[in-house]
Chains A and B, each alone.
Chain A
């Protein structure tokens, strides 16, 4: 039994990597929310520094990229196999009669998120890890230690209304992807019972809404000058 040969094993991978990526979103949103202390980015920059320098976090970052790549590769395999499973299309289809558009559009939503991710990584990850921040001065002293001023970099990026629009579109795609993906992961792992299925659905809905709005509020708050 290969790790990807069976249709069900592919489902397990999709669910496991999806839930893993969800756990990352929680950490990411939590740390970014530090900007709302509105303390000139001091708390946020301290956390950013910790995440960028801590050995355990940096090791987990490798796992994160691997998980993301696995999620994407598995998703592409599912997408192409599923297309092959219906070589001749129907002349007349009415999918809206029996399913939601977002549950049928996971590959499209995932692609939109991936495009957003490339832009997002170029905006921040690439600069902090490799090329250096574009904002001047790029470092700020907190408690006598030099920190990269990621907060100032955010302010700079989100001055541009186009960037704000792109980030909002990213959050929008993420919302619908999570809205199906969260409950879907539990179903794939076999966790669906009338006792708790409605709780999982509710948790998934609340999570998708909260995480997307939280992320979306950051560029908006900076663009509108609520956070400075």
Chain B
């Protein structure tokens, strides 16, 4: 692999606050190492911007290990960029070429208003979780060990796969309908598959879907872009499971 540094043209969405109108701004950045992560490249660009005395580009990031789900850039028309199964922090500049033009935009959805530049407010996801994405447990000190309940291996595996969702919002960002159904279905599934989730199973799916709709996310039309761009490879089998759960809960709301 070449160790040659790259010169890039970056087109970045700049928006000073949630109410201001934003626009794409052009930046030239030289000396970008192929070994840098995408976020390190943005750090480098921000140093250049700060040295000029301008306002740095605001972007979300936290763990930079691919598990927190904070980094949320729409890069060259794809959520988290061109690679599969990774978040932006795990995308490296070796995926680009010298002289490339890279478009960097925030997630676009009614449910995800822009806070500033590339940062969006994903509190809608928190409100969906609050509406039902939990299991009520006894905290009296006599809490039963979850492992004491036998669970079929297949169910445990599927629940775990669903629970790997990090709530990053890539599914919404990449969906032409801005639908949040992959996220919501993963959260519905991880509980629906386990015995601990059963007591609240029906009201959970009804409440979470209701909240999802109220947040202004679009309707799923089974395009399937979400599962392709999901950094955790969550399958749309979960959406089918949520459809089953919701249908059964609508027909017979009580357990």
Contacts and interface: CB of A to CB of B under 8 A. Distances in A.
Interface residues of A, number: 43
B24 A85 contact: no
A97 B82 CA distance: 8
A188 interface: yes
Contacts, number: 136
Nearest to A189: B243
B59 interface: no
A95 B176 contact: yes
Contact of A188 (B11, B217, B222): B222
Given A6-B210, A7-B209, A85 B216 contact: yes
B236 interface: yes
A86 interface: yes
B219 interface: yes
Nearest to B172: A85
A92 B77 contact: yes
A88 interface: yes
A8 B179 contact: no
A88 to B, nearest CB: 6
A106 interface: yes
A1 interface: yes
A143 interface: no
A51 B176 CA distance: 42
Contact of B218 (A1, A5, A82): A82
Interface stretch (B86-94, B125-133, B138-146, B223-231): B223-231
Nearest to B177: A82
Interface string A184-195: 100111111110
Contacts of A193: 237, 240
Nearest to B230: A98
A97 B77 contact: yes
B191 interface: no
A98 B78 CA distance: 8
Interface in A166-209: 180, 183-184, 187-194, 197
Contacts of A127: none
Given A86-B108, A104-B176, A99 B237 contact: no
B221 interface: yes
Interface stretch (B35-43, B62-70, B244-252): B244-252
A73 B64 CA distance: 46
A76 to B, nearest CB: 12
B76 A187 contact: no
A132 B210 CA distance: 51
Contacts of A99: 176, 223-225, 228
A40 B152 CA distance: 64
A194 B241 CA distance: 12
Interface stretch (A9-17, A28-36, A54-62, A153-161): A9-17
B223 A7 contact: no
13 contacts: A1-B250, A7-B209, A8-B242, A12-B247, A85-B109, A86-B110, A86-B176, A90-B74, A93-B77, A187-B240, A188-B220, A192-B240, A193-B240
For the complex of A and B, list the 7 residue pairs with the smallest distance between their C-beta atoms, beginning with the closest. A94-B77, A190-B244, A85-B218, A192-B240, A92-B103, A85-B178, A82-B177
